[in-house]
Amino acid sequence: MIDQINYSPELTAYYRNATVREPEILRRLRHETLHLPNAQMQISPELGQFFRLLAELFNFRQTIEIGVFTGYSCLNLALTLPPRSRIIACDINREWADIAQRYWREAGVREKIDFRLGPAAETLQKLAKEEGGSFDFVFIDGDKEGYEDYYELALVLLRSGGLMALDNVLRSGRIINPEDQSADVEVLRRLNAKILSDERVTPAGLPFGDGLTLARKR
């Protein structure tokens, strides 16, 4: 058995510098976000680059993001997707969205991003009726209590062979604490077990940040 590596801040910084090609505009957005009270909600540059690679490998054209925050993950995809592609970006916070859209405009990708301000479930339900089965990728990174609903709606929205990614599935390690009965943790416990046994998808777990689960629709 291979020993688990302890990723110290120094080792993380080395690996990031050795593997991540982060465009300047992404770096500036990430650093601006670090000064916000909720900065921990931002994905890492490693995960952003991983999404860019997925977009190239699977030729994404239509994607959905649930939980935009300041737009870092969305910008990673928008910089990679070809012209006339579309990202449906859902969030309820206008202040964060204003930061995101400032960078999207500066990067010249604003026309690729269809930002929807409001509850994501309402947007997804409407899309499911109108465009079910037509999306290549769904990134779920919104309110954790809504993850079960987002997962089911994503399965309706994705094409066969489409991919979803669910972030923060470990809840900072709280997921394995039996005394933690918080609503968000309970939802994720149920959902993690459901995905493992769900024959509609092929799942894989990756050790990005707070845990990332991929699920490919069969």
Residue type (1 letter), 192: N
Query: What secondary structure does DSSP assign to 136-204, as a single string?
Result: EEEEE-S-GGGHHHHHHHHHHHEEEEEEEEEE-TTGGGGGG-TT---HHHHHHHHHHHHHHH-TTEEEE
Q: How confident is the model at residue 4 (pLDDT cuts 50, 70, 90)?
A: low
Write down the pLDDT at residue 67.
98
Write down the pLDDT at residue 1.
43
Mean pLDDT of the chain: 95
| Mean pLDDT along residues 126-130 | 97
Q: Please give the Cα distance from 144 to 120 (Å, whole number).
A: 12
Residue pair 65/88 in contact by the 8 Å Cβ criterion: yes
Q: How confident is the model at residue 7 (pLDDT cuts 50, 70, 90)?
A: confident
Q: How confident is the model at residue 3 (pLDDT cuts 50, 70, 90)?
A: low
Q: Which CATH number among 3.40.50.2300, 3.40.50.150, 1.10.10.10, 3.40.640.10 corresponds to the domain 9-217?
A: 3.40.50.150
List the domain boundaries for the chain. 9-217
Q: Is the pLDDT reported for residue 181 higher than 90?
A: yes
Write down the pLDDT at residue 53.
97
Share of the chain above pLDDT 90, in %: 93
Write down the pLDDT at residue 5.
75
Q: Please give the Cα distance from 62 to 166 (Å, whole number).
A: 17
